[in-house]
Every structure is written in C-alpha cells, then in structure tokens.
Structure 1
Amino acid sequence: MKLTPLLIAGSLFFHISTCAQANPATARQSEDQGKVVASGSVPDEASRAAILARLRELYGTQNVVDRLEVGGVVPPPNWSENMTKILTPNLKQVHKGQLQVSGTQVALKGNVANEALRQQVVSEIATSLNPTYSIDNGLIVAAGEAQGVLDKTLSNRVVEFESGAATLTPAGRAILDEMGGAIKQIGTPKIQLIGHTDSQGNRQANVALSLARANTVRNYLIDKGIPAETLSASGAGPDQPVASNDTVEGRAKNRRIEFRLAGR
C-alpha cells in the first residue's frame, strides 16, 4: 500500500512529485490536486474498504482519491488491521511527504514543524505495530526550525582550530560532536559548511585557510556518520565578518565555521 496525501484545505500535508510537478493539464493530475491519493495494491476488498474508510475519517470523504487495486499481494498476518492503526491524526502534521508500506516495511518521508513532532509521529506508528515491522524514518524538521536547532546547538560558540592551521583543537572536536548529533536529529538535511577568518594577513591565504578548515569539519562529521553527500564546504575568508576586526574579541568571533541549511 502506498499513501500519498497531497493538498488538503489549502495546506500541504503530503506530496508526491509525479502529481505536483507534472503538467497540470491532464485530467487525472487536475483531479488529484488537493486530494489524498491512496494508490498501490492491497490483498482484498476488505482491506481496501478499511483503509479508505480510515482516510475518509481523517481527511474527509471529498478529499480522498481511491487508486487502490485489489489482489496480487500476500499480506502478513493482521495486515489490514495494522494499516488502519498507523493512519493516525498526526500524519496530518507531515508536509510534503509520503507513507509507503510494503509488507512489513514502513517508510515515512516529509517535513514536520519540530523535532518533538518528528519523534512523536514515528513513535506512534512504532508502538501500534508488532516488532516484525520495520520503520524507515525519513521525516525531517522543516527548514526554519532545523536552522534554529543548528544555531541553538552552536550557541554562538566558535569551532576552534590550532593557530594558522586546519587542525581541530579538543574543544573544536567537542563542539562538532554536538553538532553531529543535532544534524542527525533534524534528519541529516543538506548543509553548507562555510569557513571564515579575520582580516589579519593575506586575503588569498585566509580564503584558502577558511576552505581547508571547512573541509576539516566536513571530514570530521562524515567520520561521525553524517552522509558525505549532505555536506558541502566553502571558504569565505575575511569577507563576511560578524564583528569588528579592530579588537581581539571581534577577530575571534570572525574566525568561525557557519552551518547553513542549503538553499537558505
């Protein structure tokens, strides 16, 4: 069973790219716009009826499109009952995502407003199912909230390096350990690691040093389990100060690594 709720009452709850990004001129795409679309194969008519009834209860009859097919699959024990259990009201808090179920494999993707809701949605599904089911949690915290988590974890601290080098100090590694945990909490989105320096010394050398430090941070986080493809590194050198370079304190603030969600 594959559930791909789309646009309901003006708010994006679930989204599937083949419906939202294709040419809207076709009749089917027009019909699906703003609807909850249930598609895929179910074992029998009773399962189909139970799933559709639950969706209509949650989203309203007029907002559910039935594209389910009956037959051709052999379900695990109590499959239909389990499917209706995982269709909870909290799913309406997931945006731009989809729920996919294949036998005892459950995959949930999409955006949620905060980390607490991310954990709650998946925990609710997990506790409603027996241990034979596995759940792939692909939920991520929405961009604004996710950036807030990163900023709060860094908490105006500076990732420290040895003077004039791209070698992390123990204090710098400790901060990155915390940042790695925060990145995993928000679903490992794509993040830009931007190195910055103060204005002392040669600008070209500072740009190179800032890039080397950003790459050191990237490699450290990859070693901590953050997927390499989600991290990019760049060096801004002294060009984007956040404080005056005329004081020791200001220069210290400018020598920093910035963690920015891609696209922001």
Structure 2
Amino acid sequence: MKLSALILSVLFSGAAHAQQEAPVVVSGTVADEATRAALLERLRSVYGAARVVDQLSVGTVAAPANWNEYVAKLINPNLKLVSRGELKVEGSKVSLRGDVASEEQRRQIAGDIAASLNPTYTVNNGLRVAVSEQGVLDAALADRIIEFESGKAALTEAGMAVLDQMSAAMQKLKGVKVEVIGHTDNAGSRAGNLSLSQARAEAVKAYIVGKGIAADSIAVSGEGPDRPVADNRTPEGKARNRRIEFKVIQ
C-alpha cells in the first residue's frame, strides 16, 4: 500500500483585496470516505464552504497512526496568512510553501506546524516573506512630492528624478496594473483643479511610459482638491495636498 497523500493548494491572486474570494483546491487520495468528509469539513470551517474546491478521491492507501488528527491540526486559520501557497502532506512528510507578509508570520506558522506534529513527522518550511506590490511603490515614492511647474502639468527636474526611481520600481511589478492619481490643493476653482490634476496624472503616465513601462498597465485619474491629506489653511498643508499617488489596482 502507498501512503495517504493529501495536497492542499491555496491559490490566491496577487492582489491582497482579491485573496478573500480565491479558491482553495484540495486534491489527493485518502483511505476512506470518513477521512475525506472530515478533511473537507475542516477546510470549510477555516476557509468557508464556498471557497473549497473538492478534488479528493478515496483509494487503496495506508496512513501513519492518528494521521487524520495531525492533518486537521495543520489546517488552521494561520494558513489564511499564506498567499500563492501549497500545503502538501504525504504520509509523515509535510511541506509548506507560499508567501507571507513578514518574518514574524513565517516563524509563527512554522512554529504552529512543529507544535501540532509528533517527532516522526518531517517538515519542509518553504515559506518566504514577500514584499507587496503596493509596498514596492510606496517605498520608491518614500512620501516625496512629484513637483510640477506652478499651475501647469509640466514636470520639474526634481519631479522627473523621482519618476525615474518610480519607473525602476514599476519594472519589477510584472503583470500589475497601477493607477496614477493626481491631486491639488483647494486654491482656485474646483473645475480647474480637476482638470489640472488629470493633466498632471497624464503627464506622469507619459513620462514613465517613456521609461519603458507598458501604457496599458497604467490608468490615470484626477481627484482635484477632493481628497486632501493635510490642512489647506497652511502653505505646508497645501504643498502636501498637491501630490501624485500610485495605487496598485490589479
């Protein structure tokens, strides 16, 4: 007899907001229908019944003592911290791979796995700490303001220098769509500011496309004065509100 083999594939999309709806596919062979039912019940209790895709089969296999109990302990809510991941249990061999948000999460999940198994099990921890796509953009911008000539959509040399670094960061984000959002302070008419913020966002897109970023990966919008992040009653606040945002949208 071959050993029981359970493969749990947690297949999340790259964007964090989409992870909650991604399917959880469970496949492999177990010894009997009772084991299959227990595993599915455990998965559905953790992820929700609608997300679990059942590809389990029942066959002629053997398993270590108390195998069902140990596998049930492995399928715990901390697995929801893993994106683009896979948990594979084959007899007493366990492997886990995927992305987590921090080293603390990686240690926590690895510690939980070790604590839930007896010493006869071997564990291959393939988790890695992944930097989010939005984090890459935020780090490149580093709270700096992309400068334009006063009242115009023409970039200054300082603004171009920041966009050179943003373009290099965006080259790392393969298959990711980014929205460039223009904002202004509240000086002048709202209609004029909406038009100016849109024009500045378009200018940013044109510049970074010129640096090799695919045009169809960039959306643009102008919010004008509608979303201030600082007090428009002070010069410092107005300067902060005249800004460009980069937002991962896909």
Q: Which band: TM-score by shorter chain?
A: 0.5 to 0.7
Answer yes or no: is the 8 Å Cα contact 2:11–2:23 preserved in 1: no
Tell me the TM-score normalised to structure 1 length: 0.50
When residues 219 and 14 of structure 1 are mapped into structure 2, their CA distance, relative to the original with a 3 A threshold, is closer
When residues 241 and 13 of structure 1 are mapped into structure 2, their CA distance, relative to the original with a 3 A threshold, is closer
Query: 1: CA distance between counterparts of 2:163 and 2:238?
Result: 21
Query: 2: CA distance between counterparts of 1:164 and 1:174?
Result: 20
1:8 paired residue number: 8
User: What does residue range 239-254 of structure 1 map to in structure 2 within 5 Å?
Assistant: 239-254=226-241
**1:113 Cα deviation from its structure 2 partner:** 5.5
Answer yes or no: is the 8 Å Cα contact 1:13–1:93 preserved in 2: no
1:236 to 217, 223, 233: 223
Give the partner amino acid of 2:246.
Answer: F
Give the partner amino acid of 1:258.
Answer: E
2:98 paired residue number: 93
User: What does residue range 66-81 of structure 1 map to in structure 2 within 5 Å?
Assistant: none
**1:149 Cα deviation from its structure 2 partner:** 1.8
When residues 202 and 178 of structure 1 are mapped into structure 2, their CA distance, relative to the original with a 3 A threshold, is same
User: What does residue range 7-26 of structure 1 map to in structure 2 within 5 Å?
Assistant: 8=8, 11-12=10-11
For 1:77-117, what per-residue CA distance to the aligned partner results, in whole angstroms no more than 9, with x for missing partners? xxxxxxxxxxxx89x326xxxxxxxxxxxxxxxxx869xxx
User: What does residue range 157-172 of structure 1 map to in structure 2 within 5 Å?
Assistant: 157-172=144-159
Corresponding position: 1:218 with 2:247: no
**1:259 Cα deviation from its structure 2 partner:** 0.5
Q: State the SS of the aligned residue for 2:132.
A: helix
Give the partner amino acid of 1:169.
Answer: T
1:59 paired residue number: 88
Identity %: 45
Corresponding position: 1:149 with 2:132: no
For 1:97-152, what per-residue CA distance to the aligned partner results, in whole angstroms no more than 9, with x for missing partners? xxxxxxxxxxxxxxx869xxxxxxxxxxxxxxxxxxxxxxxxxx97x722122112
When residues 32 and 212 of structure 1 are mapped into structure 2, their CA distance, relative to the original with a 3 A threshold, is farther
**1:229 Cα deviation from its structure 2 partner:** 1.1
Answer yes or no: is the 8 Å Cα contact 1:188–1:226 preserved in 2: no
Give the partner amino acid of 1:187.
Answer: K
Tell me the TM-score normalised to structure 2 length: 0.53
Answer yes or no: is the 8 Å Cα contact 1:198–1:254 preserved in 2: yes
- Structure 2 unmatched runs, 5+: 1-6, 15-21, 25-52, 58-86, 103-128
**1:155 Cα deviation from its structure 2 partner:** 1.1
**1:20 Cα deviation from its structure 2 partner:** 5.2
For 1:142-181, what per-residue CA distance to the aligned partner results, in whole angstroms no more than 9, with x for missing partners? 7x72212211211111000011110100000000000011
For 1:53-80, what per-residue CA distance to the aligned partner results, in whole angstroms no more than 9, with x for missing partners? xxxxx93448xxxxxxxxxxxxxxxxxx
Which structure has the bigger radius of gyration? 2
Aligned pair count reads: 153
2:167 paired residue number: 180
2:49 paired residue number: none
For 1:166-223, what per-residue CA distance to the aligned partner results, in whole angstroms no more than 9, with x for missing partners? 0100000000000011112233511110000000001100000000000000111111
Q: State the SS of the aligned residue for 1:186.
A: coil
Corresponding position: 1:256 with 2:243: yes
Query: 2: CA distance between counterparts of 1:198 and 1:13?
Result: 39
2:54 paired residue number: 30
